[in-house]
Amino acid sequence: MKQMIKLSVTLALYTVVACLALAAVNMLTSPRILAAKEAKTKLALQAIFPDADSFRPITEGMPKSVDKVSFGDAFLALNGDKPAGVIVTVSGHTYDQATILTGIDMEGKLRMIQFLVLTDSPGIGTKAKDEPFIGQFRNKPISDAFALGSDVQAIAGATITSTAVTRMVKIAVDAASSYMSSQGLGSSGSGN
């Protein structure tokens, strides 16, 4: 009995020490991880709107989720005080997972998309980040149907990823367009 108590106390102490060590490591690394994520996002924002000098967070007017696609951060790209476009972050299931930034300019075109995360099959689903697939979205009118097989061509062997990415981009474009209309921005609003 005494041996069992000693073993239990020893295991409990190891558990406490391990938990404290993990908490300390998390406390030390989480700010660095967050800073790296913010830097990656800023680079992606700049890639979409290189002419913008600032990005103001959009805190209201965007949905939380639509058809199992969740919305993350959204930004109003500004060139001085003049709006240059809207950038929306969406996440959802592809073959695995993706997080995509979509940039819509004031002329009603999808400027481009940038993947922040794409965890699909290497060499197959991850081709969604590469040309020619990603290039199909560049300067695409937001009035397009974004229909796979007609105005967006699928990646051979990665139809699930192609369909999901196209769907996520269309949902993001619709939300950004709705936001722009509600704020009087863009080609249909008075903000241009």
- Examine residue 190 and state whether it is found in any structural domain, yes or no: no
Same domain for 126 and 172, yes or no, is yes
Average pLDDT, rounded, for the chain: 92
As a whole number, mean pLDDT of residues 56-69 equals 94
- Examine residue 188 and state whether it is found in any structural domain, yes or no: no
Same domain for 35 and 66, yes or no, is no
User: 4-21 burial by CB neighbour count: b if 16+ within 10 A, else e?
Assistant: eeeeeeeeeeeeeeeeee
As a whole number, mean pLDDT of residues 8-13 equals 92
Same domain for 70 and 144, yes or no, is yes
- CA angle, residues 89, 158, 41, in degrees to nearest 5: 20
As a whole number, mean pLDDT of residues 88-97 equals 96
- What stretches of 60-161 adopt beta strand conformation (E)? 65-66, 69-79, 82-93, 97-105, 109-118, 140-141
How far apart CA 186 and CA 73 sit, in angstroms, is 20
Q: What is the pLDDT of residue 41?
A: 85
How far apart CA 147 and CA 80 sit, in angstroms, is 36
Residue 177 has pLDDT above 50, yes or no: yes
Q: What is the pLDDT of residue 191?
A: 44
Q: Provide the whole-model pTM.
A: 0.81
Q: What is the pLDDT of residue 190?
A: 40
